[in-house]
Structure formats: C-alpha cells, structure tokens
Amino acid sequence: MVVILENNATEEQIKNIKQHLEDFGFQIHESSGVQRTILGAIGVKPGFDIRKVRILEGVADVYRVTSPFKLASRKFKEEKTVIKIKDVEIGGSKIAMMAGPCSVESEEQIFKLAEVVAKSGSKILRGGAFKPRSSPYSFQGLGEEGLRLMREAADQYGLLVITEVMQIDQIELISKYTDIFQLGARNMQNFSLLKELSKSEIPVMIKRGLAATIEEWLMSAEYILSGGNKNVILCERGIRTFETYTRNTFDLSAIPIIHNRSHLPVVADPSHATGLRDQVPPMARAAVAAGADALMIEIHHDPENALSDGPQALLPETFSQLMQELRLIAQAIGKTI
Ligand code: PEP
Ligand code: MN
C-alpha cells in the first residue's frame, strides 16, 4: 500500500500516520521526493480496510500497489534512483561505463586493461576474481589475489571496482576491495545471498537470470531493498531463448520496461548478451539509444588467450572507437558519457 502525504502535513501528523500503520502491523519505508513524500506500507493484511488510513489527517491519498514488487516500483518512488559512488553517478544523465576483462588473470593484464578503461573515459573497472563457470574444469579465478590486483589497478587509474560475489562467506572479504557487488545471473534467485547483501551498504548490481522474467528480476531487487540496501542496480545480460546464433538473446526492451515500472537504474551488458565480439558494438549502441543508464563491456588485449570469455572481448582499439560512437548517440538523446 502506498500512502501519499499532504504537502503541508505536519510532523505531528506524519508521526501519527506512521504509528497507525505500525499498529496495523505494516512495515514502513519512507520515500521523500522533490514533489511529495510517500510512505510504503508493506505487509499483506487480508481484509484490511484501506479507508482506515485514508481518513487520517495529513494523508492525501492511499492506494494498493498491485505488483508483487513494491519498493522497486515507480508507484512507491516516482523519481529515478541515482546511485552515487565517490565521483560516479549511475542513473543520472551521464551514462556510466563499466569495462574490463571477464576474469582478472595477472597483474600485467589487469593494469594494462585498467589503463585502457581510464583512457577511454570509463570510470568503472570490471573483472571477476571468483569465476562461476559452466564447466568445473575451466579457470575458476585468482580469488583474493585477483581482488587485490584489481583494487590496486583501479586505484592507480582513479577507477571504481565492480566484481562478482558468489556466496555469503565471500561478502566480508569482497567488501574490502569492491565499490559495487555484482550478483551473477546464475545467482539472481539465491535468496539467502540476496538477504545477506541487503544488509550491506555497498551497491548491488543484479544481473538478470538466464531464464528470469522481468518481474522475477524485480523481485530479487525487492529482496535487497526490503532488507535495507537502497543501492540496487539492474543489469540486462541476455536471456536464454531458442536462438543459437548468439550466446543469449539481448532483451533490449527490458530497458524501457524497467524504466517505466521501476525507479532503479538499468545497465546493459551486450558482451554476455551476445557472446560474440562483432555483435557487441551494435548492441552497445542500441542499448544507449534505448536509455541504458550504464554499459558493461568486456575487453581484452589478447582475447585469443583470455582465460574466460575471449570470443566476446573487444580489443582496446575497438573499445575506444565504440566509446566515440556511444558519445554521439548519448548526445542525441540529451545524455553524456
Ligand atoms: C560476468 O560478468 O563475467 C558473468 C559471469 O556474467 P553473468 O553472470 O551475466 O553470466
Ligand atoms: Mn564474462
């Protein structure tokens, strides 16, 4: 249920409304926008008469939110969420660029690529240290050493770090090195991991599950929001369909759909969405045109010998060229990169 307060509601009235909601057994989440203040009252109350709230002084309107996601909904928070991390914003008019290798492989590799990322004007270095691979025989990542190397490379070039957390017992360790947690597609519905991440203040980027509907994806965001972490970012990385010419099918329409239904920022990952190097630039351009708040792109200086996801990694020159093109597209829709 959403309770919209009168613009001139007094503190006393607001306190009283909150008290009533609590007495009715609701959990309250406040959202103060530029226009108005909204109270989200969460908790299913069969047979609850909404008019009991409507008549309270200071209440302008009350309505039920019919979608299963509440805190992630635009109905609860009208203004878009802008996540600020140091000097970077995700969700505003500047499109944030996240780039780097699939996996951190060595000191030389990550420093080289961090330089490419910084020189291109991107602000966020990506890279996996714990690699969830489809095969147990594939490279599994450098672990803490990979985290340390990535943090050092990012600090040297003034970048933020985003890296994947796969399990609860890694949260504490990864918190020491990262600016953003990446929740992998295969873990989107690992609800115990989501609950633990909701207790952190570090932003969480939720990658869409391989076969997850947009609603299921938003419900995962709801887990993190309801646990108290308001810094949630969504990432479209392609879904599994019957098509075999690409690794996954890039669901571009998810971007405007999320923007319409939710206030949360959306990142597009054309690298995992297509799995093919030559498909990445066109899909990256399309994602910017569709309104993505950020892009995540895998790059590698020697993709033939990359330890993971080589076929989809852009060479540094191609990435720099792509950045120029993306800037022009961004400009055409009133944004910058
Ligand atoms: C990745 O970002 O390297 C990755 C494993 O992504 P996903 O979880 O989307 O497959
Ligand atoms: Mn990858």
Are 25 and 47 in contact by the 8 Å Cβ rule? The answer is: no
Separation of CA 194 and ligand 2 centre (Å): 21
Separation of CA 163 and ligand 1 centre (Å): 10
Strand partners, 31: 38
DSSP states of 93-145: SBPEEEEE-SB---HHHHHHHHHHHHHTT--EEE-BSS---SSTTS----THH
pTM of the model: 0.94
Closest C-alpha among 76, 77, 74, 80 to residue 41: 76
Domain count, the chain: 2
Site residues for ligand 1, CB cut-off 6 Å: 102, 128, 132, 184-186, 207, 237, 272
Considering the domain architecture, whether residues 32 and 120 belong to the same structural domain is answered as no
- pLDDT attached to residue 256: 98
- Tell which atom from ligand 1 comes closest to the C-alpha of 103: 3
Considering the domain architecture, whether residues 309 and 280 belong to the same structural domain is answered as yes
- Tell which atom from ligand 1 comes closest to the C-alpha of 185: 8
In whole angstroms, what is the distance from residue 18 CA to residue 249 CA? 45
Q: Which amino acid is at 54?
A: R
Considering the domain architecture, whether residues 239 and 322 belong to the same structural domain is answered as yes
In whole angstroms, what is the distance from residue 20 CA to residue 39 CA? 12
Separation of CA 290 and ligand 2 centre (Å): 23
Please identify, among 63, 94, 115, the residue that sits at the C-terminal boundary of a domain: 63
**Is residue 150 in a domain?**
yes
Are 130 and 144 in contact by the 8 Å Cβ rule? The answer is: no
- Tell which atom from ligand 1 comes closest to the C-alpha of 184: 8
| Residue closest by Cα to atom 1 of ligand 1 | 102
Considering the domain architecture, whether residues 46 and 141 belong to the same structural domain is answered as no
**Antiparallel, parallel or unpaired: β 59-63 and 83-85:** unpaired
Considering the domain architecture, whether residues 15 and 128 belong to the same structural domain is answered as no
- pLDDT attached to residue 264: 98
Considering the domain architecture, whether residues 59 and 89 belong to the same structural domain is answered as no
Tell me, what CATH number does 221's domain have?
A: 3.20.20.70
Q: Domain range spanning residue 16?
A: 2-63
Considering the domain architecture, whether residues 109 and 153 belong to the same structural domain is answered as yes
The residue whose CB lies within 8 Å of the most ligand 1 atoms, and thus the one to mutate among 103, 138, 139, 182, is 182
Q: Tell me the pLDDT of the chain (337 aa) as tens digits.
A: 999 999 999 999 999 999 999 998 899 998 887 778 899 998 877 778 889 999 999 999 999 888 899 999 999 998 999 999 999 999 999 999 999 999 999 999 999 999 999 999 999 999 999 997 888 888 999 999 999 999 999 999 999 999 999 999 999 999 999 999 999 999 999 999 999 999 999 999 999 999 999 999 999 999 999 999 999 999 999 999 999 999 999 999 999 999 999 999 999 999 999 999 999 999 999 999 999 999 999 999 999 999 999 999 999 999 999 999 999 999 999 999 9
**Other Cβ atoms within 10 Å of 95 Cβ, number:** 23
**Is residue 274 in a domain?**
yes
The residue whose CB lies within 8 Å of the most ligand 1 atoms, and thus the one to mutate among 102, 105, 180, is 102
Q: DSSP code of 211?
A: T
- pLDDT attached to residue 43: 83
Strand partners, 162: 126, 180
How far CA 235 is from CA of 29, 35, 188, 306, 332, in Å, comes to: 24, 28, 11, 23, 23
**Is residue 73 in a domain?**
no
Considering the domain architecture, whether residues 315 and 248 belong to the same structural domain is answered as yes
**Is residue 77 in a domain?**
no
**Is residue 162 in a domain?**
yes
Separation of CA 132 and ligand 1 centre (Å): 8
For 206, the 3-state DSSP assignment is strand
**Is residue 75 in a domain?**
no
Considering the domain architecture, whether residues 200 and 277 belong to the same structural domain is answered as yes
Q: Which residue has the tokens 């909701």?
A: 198
Residue 140 main-chain phi, psi, to 5 deg? -105, 5
Tell me, what CATH number does 47's domain have?
A: 3.30.70.1140
- pLDDT attached to residue 33: 77
Considering the domain architecture, whether residues 91 and 36 belong to the same structural domain is answered as no
**Is residue 305 in a domain?**
yes
- pLDDT attached to residue 274: 97
| Residue closest by Cα to atom 6 of ligand 1 | 184
- Tell which atom from ligand 1 comes closest to the C-alpha of 182: 2
**Is residue 68 in a domain?**
no
Considering the domain architecture, whether residues 118 and 220 belong to the same structural domain is answered as yes
Closest C-alpha among 266, 333, 335, 251 to residue 81: 266
| Residue closest by Cα to atom 3 of ligand 1 | 102
Using a CB cutoff of 5 Å, list residues around ligand 2, an ion: 102, 309
Considering the domain architecture, whether residues 107 and 213 belong to the same structural domain is answered as yes
